[in-house]
Amino acid sequence: MVDIAAWLEERHITEVECLIVDINGIGRGKVLPAYKFLKSLEDDTLRIPESVFIQTVTGDYPEEDVIDPADRDVRMRPDHDSLRMVPWYDEPTAQVICDVHHHDGQPVTIAARQVLRRVVGLYQERGWKPVVAPELEFFLTKINTDPDYPLEPPIGRSRRPETGRQSFGIDALNEFDPIFEDVYAWCEAQEIDVDGMTHESGAAQMEINFAHGDPLDLADEAFLFKRTLRHAALKHDIYATFMAKPMEREPGSSMHIHQSVVDVRTGQNLFAEGDEGYADLFLAHIAGLQKYLPQCMPLLAPNVNSYRRLRRFSTAPINVHWGTENRTVGLRVPASAPESRRIENRIAGADANPYLAIAASLACGYLGMVQGLEPTKPITGSAYRLSHSLPTQLGEGLEKLAASKTMREVLGEEFVEVMLAVKETEHAAYQSVISSWEREHLLLNV
């Protein structure tokens, strides 16, 4: 465990950002002078209202009481191993991700980090260790101060915006070198193990890959990377967005989750059988994803905008079919050596809370393994020719989650109730908005 006091002194830290992650994946918390932060560790006085975990993306709260109406405090307890520098400040500043506990020492079960810990614990009880590697897509855009005005690609080094698709274009990626140089330097300073970056198919759309590892560590890194990228882009007067579908005529942004399971005792990948074969546990894991992912879509596609991405022929999946080296399916099996045998869940959007998306994906696979489920046959060719079996709107996703006794048991009853309350409040707020499309096409025509 890191000696926090020595770590802060060695780096001449003046302030510490104490972070928690709310249900939408937004970083919240407190900023303390370093000496007051150390004092709070001694007397366990770092606290925050529990209601922060039921705050909507608009800053509102559900009308009904889904937690103690007294809005009690919970204790923030820093995870020493998450202590990092904040490299974009002039003053030496540290950041640390906190777990939260009630005054009796029990963890706050509605916290996203705790939900992921709960799911990983189910694997540990079986002697299994899940391994994940997320891939995050995002767009760079011009600064946009008017939410009624559509987003536009930014101006790069050539002084011209992209006007066409530049999938895997090296020069197109290099247009934004000054931003990405900062991103890589700041990731290194924070020990965020990013693997590589590519230009995706959208205008100024990129993808970053993370090295595989422990689910909680990778969720931390994905959360911190989002924050890092936004700060780097703003430094260069550009926005970075992880919206699932920020532009009408461009593809959406995903968070693909590669996942496998190893035996804790032997270190063997439980998904492999020989050089080419699939183990029974691997097939059961896929079957669990097929059966249960539609029941926890609000964790993978948490916003009304999320479902604009999941459209036929849109480079995003519309169902939970699986296949080898097939990017039209929801569940892709990359060609790999036995020790790297894995499944890629392509359903989650980049807008998802990484803790909750990883938790949901692992939970579904786990259920398949313990229930001995069997998947459908793998498909060849385009999955777009088959039916759209995923929820098409947030409301439908919320209905499926509300009706799922299984997901309540695995993710926690209290968490699911909070998730439903927050997202139903956001959905109701969205339903009250009259869009420009409605004014344009309905105002004088109906």
- Residues 352-368 pLDDT 10s: 999 999 999 999 999 99
Give the confidence band of 55 by pLDDT, cuts at 50, 70, 90: very high
Say which amino acid occupies 366. Answer: Y
The distance from CA 83 to its chain's CA centroid, rounded to whole angstroms, is 20
Closest CA to 174 of 199, 208, 140, 207: 199
Q: Does residue 7 register a pLDDT over 80? A: yes
Q: What is the DSSP string of 106-151?
A: -B-TTSHHHHHHHHHHHHHHTTEEEEEEEEEEEEEE-----TTSPP
- pLDDT per residue as tens digits for the range 143-173: 999 888 999 999 988 888 887 778 888 888 8
Position 161 scores a pLDDT of: 86
- For tokens 């994946």, the residue is 25
Q: Are 418 and 67 in contact (CB under 8 A)?
A: yes
Give the confidence band of 412 by pLDDT, cuts at 50, 70, 90: very high
Mean pLDDT calculated for residue range 337-346: 95
Q: Does residue 408 register a pLDDT over 80? A: yes
Q: d(Cα 229, Cα 183) in Å, to the nearest integer?
A: 6
Kindly report the pTM of this predicted structure. 0.96
Position 165 scores a pLDDT of: 76
The distance from CA 200 to its chain's CA centroid, rounded to whole angstroms, is 18
Q: Does residue 238 register a pLDDT over 90? A: yes
Look at the domain 119-440 and name its fold.
Creatine Kinase; Chain A, domain 2 (3.30.590)
- pLDDT per residue as tens digits for the range 193-236: 998 899 998 999 999 999 999 999 999 999 999 999 999 999 99
Closest CA to 244 of 232, 234, 255, 258: 255
Position 341 scores a pLDDT of: 95
Give the confidence band of 181 by pLDDT, cuts at 50, 70, 90: very high
Planar angle of CA 432, 436, 439, nearest 5 degrees? 90
Q: Are 13 and 93 in contact (CB under 8 A)?
A: yes
Plot region of 235 (φ>0 → left; ψ -120 to 50 → alpha; else → beta): alpha
Q: Which residues pair with 96 in a beta bridge?
A: 18
- pLDDT per residue as tens digits for the range 263-308: 999 999 999 987 778 999 999 999 999 999 999 999 999 999 999 9
What is the helix (H) or strand (E) element at residue 179, kind and residue range?
Answer: helix 177-189
Say which amino acid occupies 340. Answer: S
Give the confidence band of 2 by pLDDT, cuts at 50, 70, 90: confident
Closest CA to 216 of 97, 317, 355: 355
Q: Provide the mean pLDDT of the chain.
A: 95
Task: Decide the pairing of beta strands 277-278 and 239-241.
Answer: unpaired
Q: Are 83 and 189 in contact (CB under 8 A)?
A: no
Q: Are 26 and 355 in contact (CB under 8 A)?
A: no
Q: d(Cα 82, Cα 18) in Å, to the nearest integer?
A: 11
* Burial 15-50, CB ≥16 within 10 A → b, else e: bbbbbbbbbbbbeebbebebeebbebeeeeebebeb
The domain locations on the chain are 4-106, 119-440
What is the helix (H) or strand (E) element at residue 207, kind and residue range?
Answer: strand 205-210
Closest CA to 71 of 80, 83, 62: 62
Position 281 scores a pLDDT of: 97
- pLDDT per residue as tens digits for the range 240-257: 999 999 999 899 999 999
CATH of domain 4-106: 3.10.20.70
Q: What values do phi and psi take at 333, rounded to 5?
A: -105, 105
**Secondary structure of residue 347 in the 3-state scheme:** coil
Task: Decide the pairing of beta strands 15-21 and 93-101.
Answer: parallel
Between helices 112-125 and 215-235, what is the axis angle to 10°?
150
